[in-house]
A and B are shown apart, each in its own frame.
Chain A
Amino acid sequence: MAKNPPSKPPPPPQWVIDLNNPPRPKSKNTSIANPPGYIEAASSGKRSAVLSKTPARKPPTTAETDTLKLKKSWELAIAPAKALPMNAIMMYMSGNSLQIFSIMMVFMLFKNPIQGLLSTNEVFRRFETEGTKNQLWLVKACYVLMNCVALALGVWKVNGMGLLPTTRSDWLAWETERVPLERAVFAFR
Chain B
Amino acid sequence: MRLWVPILLPSVAVLFASIGHAIFADEAYQTDYHLPLLGLPQAHTTLFHRPSAASKASLLYTLSDRLVLGAVNPKDGAVIWRQQLANQAENHTASGLLKAPEGGNTLISAFNGKIQTWDATDGRLVWEWQSRGRIRSIETAASSSSEDEKDILALSHEGTDAIIRRLAADSGDLLWEHVNASGDTPYSLVSYKDSVFYLSLHSALLKGFKIKVTELDASTGKQIGQPTVLNSDGEVTSEDSILHVGANSGVPIIIWTDKGLKTLKINAIGTKQITTVNVPSSQGDSAEEIVVHASRSSTALPHFLIHYIAANSHWGEVYHIDAAKSTAKKAFDLPLLGGKGAFSASSQGPDVFFTRHTAFENILVSSAAPTVLNSWNVCPKSHGGMVDPQDVTHAASEVIARGGSTYAVRSALALPSGDWELIRNGNLSWVRPEGLAGMTAAAFVEIAKQEDLAEELAAEGMRDPFAAYLHRLTRHVRDLQYLPDWSGALPNRLLGSLIGDKASTHDQSLRRDGFGFHKIVLIATERGRLAALDAGNQGKVIWNIQAVSLKAEETWDVLDIEVEEGTALIRAKGGEFLRVVVNTGTILQHQPSAMIKSLKTSVSLLDSSGKKVLIPVNDNGYLGDLPKADFGHGTIVVTEGEDSVVRGWGLIKGTKPKLVWRFMPASGERVESVNARPSHDPVASIGKALGDRNVLYKYLNPNLLLITAIGVEISTATFYILDATSGSVIYSVTHPGVDTRQPIVSTMSENWFAYSLYSESTAMTQDVTQIDGQNLKGYQLVVSELYESPYPNDRGSLGSSTNFSTVYLTAADEDDSLTSPHVISQTYLIPGPISSMSVTSTLQGITTRSLLCVVPDLNALISISKAFLDPRRPVGRDPSASEMEEGLFRYSPILDFEPKWILSHKRDVISISNVITSPSLLESTSLVFAFGNLDLFGSRVSPIGAFDILGKGFSKLQLVLTVVALAVGTTLVAPFVSIPGISEYPAPDEFSADKLAGAEKADRWNMEGLKLFRPSYTCG
Interface residues of A (CB under 8 A from B): 1-3, 5-6, 9-13, 16, 76, 79-80, 82-83, 86-87, 90, 108, 112, 162, 167-170, 172-173, 175-189
Contacts and interface: CB of A to CB of B under 8 A. Distances in A.
B1008 A177 contact: no
Contacts of B6: 169-170, 172-173
5 contacts: A79-B1006, A173-B4, A183-B725, A184-B702, A187-B617
A182 B806 CA distance: 8
A173 B2 contact: yes
Interface in B672-692: 674, 676, 683, 685-687, 689-690, 692
Given A168-B687, A180-B702, 5 more contacts: A79-B1005, A79-B1006, A167-B693, A172-B5, A172-B689
Given A12-B988, A167-B693, A183 B703 contact: yes
B685 to A, nearest CB: 6
A19 B559 CA distance: 96
B1009 A187 contact: no
B985 A13 contact: yes
Nearest to B640: A188
A8 B928 CA distance: 81
Contacts of B1008: 83, 86-87, 112
Interface in B964-1020: 985, 988-990, 998-999, 1002, 1004-1006, 1008-1009, 1019-1020
Contacts of B580: none
Interface in B438-454: none
A102 B748 CA distance: 43
A6 B999 contact: no
Question: Which of A3, A10, A168 counts the most B-chain CB atoms under 10 A from its CB?
Answer: A168
Contacts of B1020: 2, 5
Interface stretch (B543-551, B631-639, B861-869): B631-639
Contacts of A16: 1019
A1 to B, nearest CB: 5
B560 interface: yes
Contact of A182 (B683, B705, B725, B1002): B725
A175 to B, nearest CB: 6
Interface in B640-683: 640, 646, 648, 674, 676, 683
Given A175-B687, A181-B634, A9 B802 contact: no
A179 B633 CA distance: 14
A180 B985 contact: no
Contact of A184 (B617, B724, B805): B724
Contacts of B646: 188
B224 interface: no
A128 B4 CA distance: 51
Nearest to A188: B640
Nearest to B725: A182
B714 interface: no
Contacts of A170: 6, 693
Contact of B3 (A11, A173, A181, A184): A173
A138 to B, nearest CB: 19
B605 interface: yes
Kindly state the interface size class of chain B when it binds its partner: 35 or more
Nearest to A186: B676
B1009 A177 contact: no
Contact of B803 (A13, A167, A181, A183): A181
B569 interface: no
Contacts of A79: 1005-1006
Contacts of B806: 180, 182
B807 interface: yes
B674 A178 contact: no
Contacts of B703: 180, 182-184
Interface string B782-825: 00000000001100001011111111100000000000000000
A187 B639 contact: yes
A37 to B, nearest CB: 31
B89 interface: no
Contacts of A189: 559-560
Contacts of B1005: 76, 79-80, 82-83
Contact of A183 (B634, B689, B798, B802): B634
Contacts of B998: 2-3
A173 B647 CA distance: 37
A182 B636 contact: yes
A169 B634 contact: no
A95 to B, nearest CB: 14
B700 interface: yes
Given A187-B615, A189-B560, A2 B804 contact: no
B555 interface: no
Contacts of A183: 634-636, 702-703, 725
B601 interface: yes
B695 interface: yes
B690 A169 contact: yes
Interface string B454-481: 0000000000000000000000000000
A97 B999 CA distance: 35
A125 to B, nearest CB: 13
B701 interface: yes
B337 interface: no
Contact of B805 (A12, A87, A169, A182): A182
A187 B637 contact: yes
A185 B700 contact: no
Contacts of A179: 802-804
A17 B771 CA distance: 84
Given A12-B988, A13-B985, A172 B636 contact: no
Given A9-B989, A187-B603, A178 B693 contact: no
B559 A175 contact: no
A185 B685 contact: no
Contacts of B1009: 83, 86-87, 90, 108
Contacts of B805: 180-182
Contacts of A182: 633-636, 703, 725, 805-807
Given A83-B1009, A178-B798, A184-B724, A167 B694 contact: yes
A168 B793 contact: yes
A116 B692 CA distance: 35
A178 B801 CA distance: 7
B637 A185 contact: yes
Interface in B2-25: 2-6
Nearest to A19: B1019
A169 B638 contact: no
Nearest to B1004: A112
Interface in B552-598: 559-560
A71 to B, nearest CB: 15
A176 B686 CA distance: 7
Contact of A177 (B559, B648, B689, B700): B700
A75 B985 CA distance: 39
B53 to A, nearest CB: 53
Given A175-B686, A189-B559, A168 B638 contact: no
Given A2-B1020, A172-B685, A189-B560, A180 B633 contact: no
A77 to B, nearest CB: 10
Contacts of A76: 1005
B750 to A, nearest CB: 11
Contacts of B1004: 112
A127 to B, nearest CB: 14
Contacts of B700: 177-178
A2 B1002 contact: yes
A183 B648 CA distance: 11
B621 to A, nearest CB: 9
A3 B497 CA distance: 62
7 smallest beta-carbon distances between A and B, as pairs: A182-B634, A184-B724, A79-B1005, A83-B1008, A182-B725, A169-B689, A167-B693
A69 to B, nearest CB: 15
Contacts of B674: 186, 188
Contacts of A6: 989
A169 B693 contact: yes
A1 B701 CA distance: 71
